[in-house]
């Protein structure tokens, strides 16, 4: 049976990306600091090549979560294409592209804006590296990666918070910023935080407030994380805003939710409804007529089915 065609937007958009390691569920390759750092290094390398930006990440023992922004396709100049070819092939770029015709260069241009090509390089290069280093054979990943589109800012923010609370949900740490293989640690420590999309673009702050304060308050509230002694309590104004969004109780993101991997797209009712209608017109998705309510103000396009192993 052929695979369902992957959902990918033709516009600039955010995605939540996820994949799990094949084999024994008690095998945790990413607990090896060398392997975890290699995966992050490959992400950084290909983020420089592709028109992608990283918003959040979390490497767990046997799976990963990424939140990335992918730019809308545009035709690049010949100079830009050569620069990207140098990044792709290094000093041998002229030799590697010597037989490329115009059609092949146009395909290369399109690939630079394609989340599938980005993940093909990251997943493929890492699996080859890991199998070679640890004398392992066979497929490394359990399946093709999953990408859920984040249709609005509310979905982007909630996905970032959900991803950065993975280690807390798993009981590995008490506070998200303590987990070294997550973007919360990068933000708190300042190490490599320049590789992340600035918080002011992800968590716009009101007057008299900074984006980090808003982000931290939302992260702590939805993760039921108590502020430390030297930290201020969550501002009442943010608590009121969270209540209005449908997150009145703390800890809304302490539960594992399959909608982030299997929901196809996440967003408000209207944005998901428009995508659903477009799919119905194309006859790609005819089983449902309405978006599926998930968490607070968020809806998904597709319902979730039970699986043997639930993603973290």
Q: What is the pLDDT of residues 194-216, one digit of tens each?
A: 899 999 999 998 776 889 999 99
Residues 106 and 52 in one domain: no
| Residue 5 within any structural domain of the chain | no
- Domain hosting residue 104, numbered range: 78-112
Residues 107 and 139 in one domain: no
Is residue 275 within 8 A of residue 301, CB to CB? The reply is yes
| Residue 296 within any structural domain of the chain | no
Last residue of a domain, one of 93, 112, 131: 112
The domain total for the chain is: 2
Q: What is the pLDDT of residues 118-128, one digit of tens each?
A: 999 999 999 99
Residues 128 and 237 in one domain: yes
Residue % of the chain over a pLDDT of 90: 71
Which of 100-114, 129-143, 254-268, 280-294 tops mean pLDDT?
A: 100-114
Last residue of a domain, one of 206, 224, 256: 256
Residues 250 and 147 in one domain: yes
Last residue of a domain, one of 216, 236, 256: 256
Residues 189 and 215 in one domain: yes
Residues 28 and 104 in one domain: no
Q: What is the pLDDT of residues 220-264, one digit of tens each?
A: 999 999 877 777 777 778 888 888 888 888 899 999 999 999 989
Residues 130 and 198 in one domain: yes
CA-based angle 38:43:49, to the nearest 5? 130
Is residue 304 within 8 A of residue 262, CB to CB? The reply is yes
Is residue 54 within 8 A of residue 84, CB to CB? The reply is no
Residues 147 and 61 in one domain: yes
């Amino acid at each position: 049976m052929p695979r369902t065609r992957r959902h990918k937007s033709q516009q600039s958009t955010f995605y939540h990306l996820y994949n799990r390691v094949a084999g024994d569920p008690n095998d945790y390759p990413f607990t090896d600091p060398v392997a975890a750092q290699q995966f992050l290094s490959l992400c950084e390398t290909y983020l420089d090549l592709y028109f992608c930006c990283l918003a959040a990440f979390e490497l767990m023992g046997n799976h990963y979560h990424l939140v990335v922004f992918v730019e809308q396709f545009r035709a690049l100049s010949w100079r830009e294409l050569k620069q990207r070819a140098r990044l792709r092939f290094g000093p041998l770029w002229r030799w590697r592209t010597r037989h490329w015709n115009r059609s092949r260069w146009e395909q290369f241009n399109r690939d630079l804006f394609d989340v599938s090509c980005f993940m093909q390089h990251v997943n493929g290069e890492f699996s080859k590296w890991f199998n070679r280093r640890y004398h392992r054979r066979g497929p490394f990943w359990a399946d093709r990666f999953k990408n859920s589109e984040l249709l609005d800012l509310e979905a982007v923010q909630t996905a970032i918070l959900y991803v950065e609370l993975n280690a807390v949900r798993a009981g590995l740490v008490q506070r998200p910023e303590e987990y070294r293989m997550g973007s919360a640690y990068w933000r708190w420590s300042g190490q490599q935080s320049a590789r992340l999309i600035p918080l002011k673009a992800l968590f716009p702050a009101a007057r008299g407030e900074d984006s980090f304060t808003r982000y931290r308050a939302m992260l702590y509230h939805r993760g039921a994380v108590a502020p430390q002694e030297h930290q201020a309590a969550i501002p009442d104004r943010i608590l009121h805003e969270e209540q209005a969004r449908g997150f009145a109780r703390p800890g809304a993101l302490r539960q594992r939710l399959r909608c982030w991997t299997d929901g196809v797209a996440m967003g408000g009712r209207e944005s998901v409804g428009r995508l659903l209608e477009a799919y119905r017109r194309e006859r790609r998705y005819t089983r449902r007529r309405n978006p599926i309510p998930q968490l607070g103000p968020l809806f998904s396009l597709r319902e979730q089915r039970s699986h043997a192993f639930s993603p973290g």
